Structure formats: C-alpha cells, structure tokens
Amino acid sequence: MSNVHVISHPLVQHKLTLMRRKDASTNSFRRLLNELAMLMTYEVTRDMPTQPIEIETPLETTTGTVIDGKKLVFVSILRAGNGILEGMLSVVPGARVGHIGLYRDPKTLTAVEYYFKMPSDMHERDAIVVDPMLATGNSAIAAIDRLKEVRPRSIKFVCLLTCPEGLAALQAAHPDVPIYTAAIDRQLNDHGYILPGLGDAGDRIFGTQ
C-alpha cells in the first residue's frame, strides 16, 4: 500500500480519539476536525513546489523560500469535506477551492452528484480532494472520476478515516492517486458505516442528526 500514507503523529491520533467519542459536542467535533486538518495539511503539502525569493530583513538582503498557493486547489466533497477545507485554508490561505456536491444513496450506497464547480485553468493546478470519510469508496471514486474530466496537474485524496474496503476500491479505480488518512479502521457495517468509526461525519459537523 505504498500509495497510502497514514499520518500517525501523536497529536493527530489524540484529536481523532476525542472526535470518535459519541459524547463529543458539535462544537468540539468541528473544532477538532479543524485542528486535525491543519496538522494533516503539513504532511500532505510536504512535496509542494517552492521558489526562491529575494527579501530585505532589517539587517540585509537574503534569499527566502515561498510557495505559490494559487497553484493548489482544495476540492471539497460536500457537505462533510467542508469541515476539513476550513482547517486547510487557514494554513494555505491563498489556495483555490473547488466543490463537488455528492450524497450517498442510503439504499444502494452509490454516490449521487448535485453540484460541480472548479476554478479555471485546472491543468495548471495540483488538486487535493478532501472528505473526512472513505467508506465504500463510491463517493471518492465518483468525485475523482469527475475531477479528472477537467485535468488537474495532479490529484491527492485526504480523509480522516477509512477502512480496508474503501482503500481497496479507491486504489483499484484510481491507482495514481495517493491517499492520506489519520487511521485505517477495521471494517464497514451492513449500512456502509466505518467500524469503529465516528458515525456520520456530516451530521456531526453540522449538528443535523
């Protein structure tokens, strides 16, 4: 599973454990997701291109290093992706943002698209697709199928939690897309929920249960 990166940093694991607890409030769930997303961004953007820039310190001229945030596009799978998006944008505020609206049909567990909006010139941008949950993989696969139609320069997928079933499905459909996650849980239940998991991410972020 060389294309799968599990971010096992103690801070990430600590916050994820607090989020899993069923008694975590909407407020603390959202705040923790935000903090986790910031920490995960550090790993996910480790290889992003930089360029040298000449600057003046109060004492002399020197050469510093900057990124070009505009070349990055965070692609949020609605709704729950927006919980990760917020944290990522606080670390890379210049990034562009795309949205893909998808929901899982509760009976068939297939993904149904209701919205798609990307920045222009996607072929010049590196896309990071975000969604807290990779369960059956149907939503991530549908989102990446659709995203590939506008030909971004590269694609990564970031989630908080996944399971062997979702990883296998996404890797089979899009072997070129690296996957970043904070944990690989045990399995899916009969309703397509991750066990032990954290429940329905969208409902917990937005308090819609």
Ligand X SMILES: O=P(O)(O)OC[C@H]1O[C@H](OP(=O)(O)OP(=O)(O)O)[C@H](O)[C@@H]1O
Ligand Y SMILES: O=c1cc[nH]c(=O)[nH]1
Which residues form the interface with ligand X (CB under 6 A)?
77-80, 102-104, 109, 111, 131-140, 166, 192, 200-202
The listed partner (ligand Y, Mg ion, ligand X, none) that binds 127, CB under 5 to 8 Å by sort, is: none
By C-beta, is 85 or 194 nearer to ligand Y?
194
Q: Give the helix, strand, coil percentages of the chain, each rounded to 5.
A: 35, 30, 35
Please indicate whether residue 57 is annotated as part of the active site: no
Residue 197 binding partner per list ligand X, ligand Y, Mg ion, none, with a CB distance cut-off of 5 to 8 Å that depends on partner kind: ligand Y
Kindly state whether residue 24 participates in binding ligand Y, applying the rule CB under 6 A.
no
Q: Work out whether 197 is an interface residue with ligand Y (CB under 6 A).
A: yes
Least distance to ligand Y from the beta carbon of 192, Å? Answer: 6
Verify whether residue 176 is a known catalytic residue.
no
97, two tokens: 């943002």
The amino acid occupying position 30 is: R
Closest to ligand X by CB, 137 or 178:
137
Does 132 count as an annotated binding residue? yes
* Annotated catalytic residue, options 30, 104, 125, 204: 104
Which string of DSSP letters, residue by residue, matches 169-204?
HHHHH-TTS-EEESEE-SEE-TTS-EES--S-HHHH
Q: Establish whether 200 is a catalytic residue.
A: yes
Please report which residue ranges of 45-135 form alpha helices under DSSP H: 81-91
User: Within 10 A of 96 (CB to CB), how many other CB atoms are there?
Assistant: 19
d(CA 193, CA 162): 10
CB of 39 vs Mg ion, minimal distance in Å? 23
- Measured distance CA(81)–CA(110) in Å, rounded: 17
Binding flags for ligand Y, 115-134, as an x/- string (CB under 6 A): ------------------x-
104 belongs to the catalytic site? yes
Find, among 166, 75, 184, the residue nearest to 126 by Cα. 75
- Tell me which of 26, 31, 121, 203 is the catalytic residue: 203
DSSP secondary structure string, 130-165? E-SEESSSHHHHHHHHHHHTT--SEEEEE-SEE-HH
Binding residues are 79, 104, 131-139, 194, 199-201
Binding residues for 5-phospho-alpha-D-ribose 1-diphosphate are 79, 104, 131-139, 200
Q: Which residues are catalytic?
A: 104, 108, 200, 203
